[in-house]
Amino acid sequence: MSELISLAGELDAGDALARVRDRFVLDDVVYLDGNSLGALPAGVPARVADVVARQWGELRIRSWEESGWWTAPERIGDRIAPLVGAAAGQVVVGDSTSVNVFKALVAAVRMARGDAEGDSRGAARDEILVDATTFPTDGYLAESAARLTGCTLRPLAPADVPGALGPRTAAVLLNHVDYRTGRLHDLPGLTAAVHAAGGYAVWDLCHSAGALPVGLDEHGVDLAVGCTYKYLNGGPGSPAYLYVRRGLQDRFDSPLPGWNSHAEPFGMRPEYAPAPGAVRGRVGTPDILSMLALEAALEVWDGVGIEAVRAKSLALTDFFLRCVEEYVPEGRVESLTPAAHAERGSQVALRCDDAGDVMKRLVARGVVGDFRAPDVLRFGFTPLYTGFAEVERAARVLGETLG
């Protein structure tokens, strides 16, 4: 035990991101649930107070122009863009992840069908492939999108996707990181395979953005969505985002056209004409209070590179697994998270027979992770504020709880 405690101290002393911890509101609880809800950035309360008291309370409707409310979805999108490997002008913030998944998936099918119409071979694009292990909502939305577009839906394990692709493939919806196990899927390889088959790749980045490099532009991803309340620390229910690759923006045909995505939003014309660029991913009036809270939260990323975050994430999860092996009685837990760095996100999932009760006991002792039915303990590691001494303590308390 003393060896691991000493090692944790050495690792914390050499942590280049330790300085960022002060940008958050934290206490003596070991918080390992940032993969569900990130901690509160210290600058957010004052910013929200200003938005409510001055921008809304005093300026009122003038704030749409004078406080920049109207352009917030694109402005904050450009702030997120570097964190997912995208150039400016391709990310727009707004709506929920679910709504953006629906927009992206239906638009992908429509683009694939547009390609097919110009194909002299008459290729039919009438099939959607979806990650069978996905977060349930993505599956529900994929099923609804398939019914709406007349497509067949094929749920598959991500590893089986390449072998299932073909001339009927319109779109493929995949998770970058599995929410249960923390497995990191091969975004570059799977995207290339989808493109080789003539389909469009839609990626859900909820469990990767802000924890590791994504490389949307580099790997030619077509469409991507993600939430902002996990590793991006935007707050409960903070708005999601939609990425539309620049080369596809003039063809992006959203199934949810709204006045905010109209080329002339205040023209009040009965005919819909989409705005140019990623702005056509907007729908209705932006949720300003939560959106501007998110903008303030993203300031914690000033001077922080995503590569440094990834390096610390891997070091944290490696150290946690080492401590678990040392402290937890043999046979009591089983790691579901891949050992290989290339296949690991920023969480560790442990299978445990009485996981729900165990997590309650951990929380009571000041170690907060979460439980996923039926038997998974999840621990999310947010490199911006998680330290190695906390990791050692969490594993030690887990071992004592299970022992």
Give the catalytic positions in this structure. Answer: 135, 204, 229-230, 378
> Looking at beta carbons, which pairs linking 8-15 to residues 24 or more positions away fall under 8 Å?
8/319, 8/387, 8/388, 8/389, 8/391, 8/392, 9/388, 9/389, 11/315, 11/319, 11/388, 12/387, 12/388, 12/389, 15/312, 15/387, 15/388
Contact 47, 238 (CB under 8 A): no
Q: Is 354 helix (H, G, I), strand (E, B) or coil?
A: coil
Q: How far apart are CA 260 and CA 84, in angstroms?
A: 24
Spatial neighbors of 28 by CB under 8 A, at least 6 apart, are: 366
Query: What is the torsion angle, in degrees rounded to the nearest 10, for the CA atoms of residue 4, residue 14, residue 214 and residue 290?
Result: 90
* Closest residue by Cα to residue 380 from 132, 187, 128, 181: 181
DSSP state of 134: S
Q: How far apart are CA 265 and CA 30, in angstroms?
A: 47
Residue with tokens 């300031």: 299
Neighbouring C-beta atoms of residue 301, cutoff 10 Å: 21
